[in-house]
């Protein structure tokens, strides 16, 4: 019997950390994704992370492309991303 795959769920904060390049662990998890690992998130988490990126972050579109290749994205209920939530996510993402 084969071993179960190791599963990771990425929150909005974790996704933002990946896009900002502040987490080597998350970066390695996505960039070097093993067939023994499943990574998932919701479209709402991705929406929050992308909506929290600022011009000064020098966002690398290739990281988004790799993210879309490696991560299973499930639908989730949406709500409007507020400035307060962006500030909260950016603060959490800056905590390494």
Tokens linked to 57: 């972050």
Q: What is the pLDDT of residues 21-77, one digit of tens each?
A: 999 999 999 999 888 999 999 999 999 999 999 999 999 999 999 999 999 999 999
Which residues, 6 or more positions from 93, have their beta carbon under 8 angstroms from its beta carbon?
A: 13, 16, 17, 20, 22, 52
- Give the burial string for 70-80 (b: 16+ CB within 10 Å, else e): ebebeeeeeee
pTM of the entire predicted model = 0.90
Q: What is the pLDDT of residues 10-24, one digit of tens each?
A: 999 999 999 999 999
Query: What is the C-alpha separation between 96 and 37, in angstroms, rounded?
Result: 23
E strand or H helix at 52: none
């Amino acid at each position: 019997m084969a071993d179960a795959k190791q599963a990771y769920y990425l929150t909005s904060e974790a996704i933002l950390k990946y896009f900002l390049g502040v987490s080597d662990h998350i970066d390695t998890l996505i960039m070097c994704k093993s067939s023994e690992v499943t990574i998932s998130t919701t479209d709402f988490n991705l929406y929050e992370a992308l909506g929290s990126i600022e011009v000064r972050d020098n966002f690398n579109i290739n990281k988004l492309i790799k993210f879309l290749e490696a991560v299973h994205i499930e639908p989730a209920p949406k709500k409007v991303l507020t400035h307060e939530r962006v500030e909260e996510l950016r603060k959490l993402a800056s905590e390494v």
